[in-house]
Amino acid sequence: MFLKLQPRGEASKRMSYLSPLLAGILTLVTGGIFFIFLGHDPFHALGVFLISPVSDLYGFAELCVKAAPIMLCAVGLALAFKAQVWNIGAEGQLLMGGLLASAVALQLIEAEGFWVLPVVLLSGALGGALWGLLAAWLRNRFNANEILTTIMFNYIALYLLLYFVHGALKDPDGYGFPESAVFSDSATLPILLEDTRLHIGILFAMFAVVASWVFISRSFVGFQIQVLGLDSNAAKLSGFKHKRLVLLVMLISGALAGIAGAGEVTGPIGQLIPSISPGYGYAAIIVAFLGRLHPVGIFFASLLMALIYMGGELAQIELNMPLAVTSLFQGMLLFYLLACDVLINFKIKLNKSQVAGAEQNTVGNA
């Protein structure tokens, strides 16, 4: 290679925070070019994609509905990433949370009382937490790579959900459709805004943002997690319990994703169906890095990601585009974010030894 990457030394903090903004601008420019090639006016298409979805109160409510599960998952992932625990399994943990919450809600379908909803939500948190703890245990016990295990657990969780929604949890009066019975009113999240689907799940997400900031910046355990992420050897020398911290961050991360799943089935859906998530757990990975693993950044990045989901759906209707445009914009955003981060941390240098070798070969061949 004639070019090589040379570390810059200490990376610029200012550029680190400007990187997501630059990545967003580059994504918009590339998206505009993409729309031109498809025969659309780029300004009109980007307006449909990014402005039209939130042009009224109902659209803003839908933005919050979609942002809530992404925010919950991303906050948990950021906590794990800060400890250098690479949890890629938020999607599976969300699905398991939704599955267990649905199973409990269906068992309590005849029950009434204020206690029903908390039990259902706690069941969802338990489902996600146990799914995350399993990956943490495999890492601690067998040194299994959590990237691989959590990715594989995503598919296992998906097929478990499909198995139950087509089997034991299937509504016997549902005319053969793969879905559960509709949950009782006691097991569904209250609506915050009339004539919309906005429910109290967004309050859970906002509380998670505040609580995670307090936990990571104001508690001793949060300090241990940061030290573990910065230098695991220093954490060991300081007497921090490495394995316990891994279990803790995976427990919290999984529980938050599980609550996100429970919030989906008890909120906008109101029953268990095969597709309770369009990929919120995967999108949360992008959101966590786009927000610089900081709760405030994650809050705004979650709103942006929710807007991309809504824009993709509206572009499908108004511009006759495939739903894959959502994944396209998500991918471009991640690509540009990673590219900007590389250029912040490394300089591109000419590999003089390779150039000199090529010149010698050219002279020898002549």
pLDDT for position 353: 63
pLDDT given for residue 351 in this prediction? 67
Backbone angles phi, psi at 339, to 5 degrees: -65, -45
Are 212 and 78 spatial neighbours (Cβ–Cβ below 8 Å)? yes
How far is the C-alpha of 50 from the C-alpha of 45, rounded, in Å? 9
179-233 pLDDT per residue, tens = 999 999 999 999 999 999 999 999 999 999 999 999 999 999 999 999 999 888 8
More confident residue, 106 or 346: 106
For the chain, helix (H) and strand (E) counts, in that order, are 14, 2
- For the segment 88-95, the average pLDDT, to the nearest whole number, is 97
90-107 and 116-142 helices, crossing angle to 10°: 140
Predicted confidence (pLDDT) per residue in 319-328, tens digit: 999 888 999 9
pLDDT tens digits for range 337-360 = 999 888 887 777 776 666 555 556
Q: Which amino acid is at 169?
A: L
Distance CA 274, CA 227 (A): 40
pLDDT of residue 356: 56
Digit-coded pLDDT (tens) for 21-34: 999 999 999 999 99
Dig out the tokens for 133 from the structure: 């703890």
- 36's CB contacts (< 8 A; 6+ apart) are 42
Per-domain boundaries in the chain: 68-304
Looking from the CA of 357 toward its CB, the CA atoms found within 13 Å total 7
Residue 199, phi then psi, degrees to nearest 5? -120, 180
